[in-house]
Amino acid sequence: MSGMAAAVNIAFDAPDNLVGPTSSRERPIDLVHLAAQTKGDKAVEIEILQMFARQARGCLTAISAGRNKVEVKAAANRLRNAAMAVGALRVAGAADLIETKGANADALASVAAAVLEAEHFILKLAR
């Protein structure tokens, strides 16, 4: 195994904040789903995840600013779609609640926590 391959394998092991074996769908990012989308290209996965993290942060800012319900719903929809594309299922679920039920304090806290968790996971993968 080359040094690069070893580094990629280490980078894509589960972050050390996870305890015990977990399925890919239980992680902040479903890596099996992402690998299927990228045909297993780890460099592309990292690039896509970093783009998702930036987009998620922008959507979260737009949702929090919430000038009106239409803008909030549109930002939540963008976040949900982006999250589904990369397999960030908790982010997608939290964004879906905002899109369908509105941006109350609990929904905002839930989406913010899910985005932060996904960002943290992505940062650990990219190290």
Residue range 54-80: mean pLDDT, rounded: 93
pLDDT score for 66: 79
Structure tokens at 70: 């239409």
Structure confidence by residue, pLDDT tens digits, 21-57: 456 668 899 999 999 989 989 999 999 999 999 999 9
- Report whether 92 contacts 84 (CB < 8 A): yes
pLDDT score for 1: 42
What DSSP designation does 87 have?
T
pLDDT, averaged across the chain: 84
